[in-house]
Amino acid sequence: MHSPAPPASLLHALRRVMRPLVRLMLRKGVTYTYFSDMLKGIFVEIAATEFRLGDKAPSDSRISLITGVHRKDVRRLREAAPESDVHLPEALSLGAHLVSIWMSRPPFCEHPGRPLPLPRLASTGGECSFDALVAQASKDIRARVVLDEWLRLGIACLDEQDRVHLQTTAFVPQKGFDEKAAYFSHNVHDHACAAVHNLTTDARPFFERSVHYDTLSPASVETLRDAVAAEGMQALMNFNALAAKLEAGDRAAAVESPQRITIGLYFYTEPGAEPAPVGGEP
């Protein structure tokens, strides 16, 4: 018995989706051999957890049949330690939470979306200080530790009055490859999950829309880039304020089975094809 061939349109889409990932791997020294073995592990993991027959765990033979991975490799990979989950590392989650508080809650912001510069020490700024901000999220970590890390990552800066300024309106490190890689993992994973859900199920689709043009001048692209940076960020800040308000109510109500969400926005440009001539033959 042979499995039906996958749709040609899907294979074409997968080749295109993989190109930027392969580009990243080659730039960072990830060889085909290493990636191939890692990919085997992912095939085995997904088959073992999501392609069960009822409550019964699939056998090595069944996983081998489904995935095409040799049974000896299936056994080896199933015995290996599982990879960590897709959630952001604790330090980044704490940082994102602090940025959300800073941008949305008085006295740390002038109004939602307009964070204030904060005196570094509580002895100077009291309840409107960076010390007080960190205390809102954790009593177990010193504000100076957070600040030093944010200074390293380019998220915050200190002025001559010893006030802390937020350098970005979302917690996206400007420096630090490991931290950027964590957000790459989180954002691309969740975007791909939404797209796969929409492509493979009849359930209510996740919102996933984009606009695209292919004959814009560099000047027009810059105009659009600036508009996305301003208006797109404002939209995300509005969603952030709504999510923070809803989360506070949900925590007070002690809701069961809490869920996580990701709301994203992106902009990309690259050279396009030459536009077709207008008004007749070239």
Q: Which runs of consecutive H residues, i.e. helices, occur in the chain?
A: 8-27, 32-50, 60-67, 71-79, 90-104, 122-125, 130-137, 143-153, 177-200, 218-227, 233-253
Q: How far is CA 88 from CA 44, 119, 187, 239, in A?
A: 24, 28, 10, 20
Which residues, listed in sequence order, are joined to residue 115 by a DSSP beta bridge? Answer: 109
Domain boundaries, given as residue ranges, for the chain: 8-79, 90-166, 178-253
**Residue-level pLDDT at 139:** 83
CA 188, distance to chain mean position in Å, is 6
Q: Looking at residues 70-95, what average pLDDT do you find?
A: 77
Q: Environment class of residue 123 by beta-carbon count within 10 Å: exposed (0-12), middle (13-18) or buried (19+)?
A: exposed
Residue (of 135, 157, 138, 161) closest to 147 by Cα position: 157
CA 98, distance to chain mean position in Å, is 17
H-helix or E-strand containing 115?
Answer: strand 114-115
Q: Using one digit for the tens of pLDDT, what is the confidence trace for 165-224? A: 998 666 667 677 877 888 898 899 999 999 999 999 999 999 999 999 999 999 999 999
Tokens encoding 179:
């931290």
Specify the DSSP class assigned to residue 128. G
Residue (of 137, 148, 138, 145) closest to 104 by Cα position: 137
Which residues, listed in sequence order, are joined to residue 156 by a DSSP beta bridge? Answer: 166
DSSP helix/strand/coil, 99:
helix
- The sign of the torsion formed by the CA atoms of 25, 28, 32, 38 equals negative
Mean per-residue pLDDT of the chain:
87
Q: Provide the pLDDT confidence category of residue 3 given band limits of 50, 70 and 90.
A: low
Q: How far is the C-alpha of 268 from the C-alpha of 270, rounded, in Å?
A: 7
pTM for the full predicted model: 0.74
Indicate whether 13 pLDDT > 70.
yes
**Residue-level pLDDT at 116:** 94
- 138 with 94: CB under 8 angstroms? yes
Q: Using one digit for the tens of pLDDT, what is the confidence trace for 149-162? A: 889 888 899 999 99
Indicate whether 41 pLDDT > 50.
yes
Q: How far is the C-alpha of 164 from the C-alpha of 154, rounded, in Å?
A: 12
Residue appearing with tokens 């975007």: 191
Indicate whether 1 pLDDT > 50.
no
- 130 with 120: CB under 8 angstroms? yes
